[in-house]
Structure 1
């Protein structure tokens, strides 16, 4: 997936809550969006090379802030935070996101205000023979999180680690031991660690998250006909994902390649497939 570094102020998407939408007022919803965004940024890192120092990125302003657009919205001034650790095949990255929300009637806008990034090498799969070292390797990333998220926000901030192709390719027992060690490490932090916070990301979901991320940033989720195709070129796998209503594509695609998603209350069909190697 081709992308460029942006340096403007914020990005946003309109979210219209429905019975099938993610919870629109919980820390889990913020984490859900944060995972989408981290997949895209990780792809960019793979294409342009690893960074070894902290870098702050700002999203693109897709919908003007109410102060710029003259929109009368109920503004929640207090930022929400989410911490996503991306366990890739070539390294582990932390993405620390801050969001604000504006609500007008039944419409909620989520604005990505800021993202702080730090990368380390090697990847978690390199510690297949010593899982405790895998957990210890995360210390610089957790230190960055502690320095970024305000102390009074820690208990309301979720921390998530999603591993991709690197851990998929090693023996299951080794991968499970690494994930167990990492979970114990994250549970020692002041952040929220839920039952599914530490896991290997399904290759299908990896493609879907990349697609959601790009279309979230471009404000395309409310009009799927204009949505963007994503090609996510990772270190150990590649995913291609796009929305389709083409009958031939729906009929001829192999089993498991078409996913039915409910987006803003409407059923949409998404083609996604992951290729290892």
Structure 2
């Protein structure tokens, strides 16, 4: 693969921790549909007149996500406790009672019934209250779609953010042109203040357009009553494949087109039905550069497009090239994941036909 140079506007993936007397900490849990992630942030206030700065971060994750424990909320909370034990080791004991801990859940819990979601959150809140950390009143909750992208902003950068979860996908960027603001739906914009100025941030979460939800949509199984034993087939899957898959508390049977076509071209036509005309396409992003997280990272790393440890810089066309390679040689890649062709094709279609990115749009693929 041709190696790309990192553009100047992408900072290095290094977060040194420099403990000082004026250091304090914050613990943030991101409870997504496919996994729960803990971010232990170190802040340093260099002078009383200045705002604290992020000095370092410790990150870890567990799978599956909390929504997988919809019927076993206590077990779901145990996964959070396992991660929280890391924070106990990372934060100095004399700062425990001053260190806030917060968990925000995203699309995975929004797909559950309110009763099951609240049962999970109650168990998590109990884990927090039994810990030595500071537990704010609103420490546990479900974020609405407009807030998901706001937590991903780069401190001094104006590049955009793309996040692809299991149930939803998010896009966030700071518009540069007045025309973008005029043409954007009102609920896609949110105002925030920084350095005594007010900014309009473009941020939206598309529920049902995460990677796993897109699999169901491609199979024709999303938002439908599944009859026991019903089989869903796709040209994006190996011909002889027949298997079962659990998502959102439902069991699905799926397989390849035994008699029909398989490969990238028929698969792309299937996936196009899922994304074409369904997402807003702001013109200015076509020439912009974005950070991309979660399943963008996972699938790029799974297929050696990027380094697993450090991520890498790709163009949109790299996902399409790899999708063609995998889909047209499914037998060779079947052991990795039966959904690999479908996933890469969906990512390609989402970026090009969904959001409207150009083939040469630069993406910094990061783990988060």
When normalised by structure 2's length, the TM-score is: 0.50
Q: In the alignment, does 2:112 pair up with 1:181? A: no
Please name the residue that 1:246 is paired with: 177
Please name the residue that 1:255 is paired with: 186
Aligned partner (choices 190, 194, 201) of residue 132 of structure 2: 190
Give the distance between the partners of 1:148 and 1:76, measured in 2 at CA.
14
Give the distance between the partners of 1:172 and 1:197, measured in 2 at CA.
18
Task: Report 1:126-165 matches (<5 A).
Answer: 126-165=68-107
Give the 3 Å change call, closer, same or farther, for CA 266–174 of structure 1 in structure 2: same
Q: In the alignment, does 2:13 pair up with 1:6? A: yes
What secondary structure is seen at the aligned counterpart in 1 of 2:187?
coil
Please name the residue that 2:30 is paired with: 86
Give the distance between the partners of 2:179 and 2:202, measured in 1 at CA.
12
Q: May I ask how many residue pairs the two structures share in their alignment?
A: 199
Q: Which runs of 5+ in 1 are unaligned?
A: 11-57, 59-74, 221-226
Give the 3 Å change call, closer, same or farther, for CA 248–111 of structure 1 in structure 2: closer
What secondary structure is seen at the aligned counterpart in 1 of 2:115?
helix
Please name the residue that 1:204 is paired with: 146
What secondary structure is seen at the aligned counterpart in 2 of 1:82?
strand
Give the distance between the partners of 2:193 and 2:99, measured in 1 at CA.
27
Contact 1:76-1:101 within 8 A present in 2 as well: no
Give the distance between the partners of 2:55 and 2:11, measured in 1 at CA.
18
Aligned partner (choices 52, 67, 70) of residue 110 of structure 1: 52
Aligned partner (choices 109, 114, 121) of residue 167 of structure 1: 109
Please name the residue that 2:345 is paired with: none
- Tell me how large the CA RMSD over aligned residues is: 2.4
| Offset at residue 83 of structure 1 (A) | 1.0
Aligned partner (choices 89, 99, 109) of residue 43 of structure 2: 99
| Offset at residue 184 of structure 1 (A) | 1.0
Contact 1:76-1:102 within 8 A present in 2 as well: no
| Offset at residue 234 of structure 1 (A) | 2.6
Task: Report 1:220-235 matches (<5 A).
Answer: 220=157, 227-235=158-166
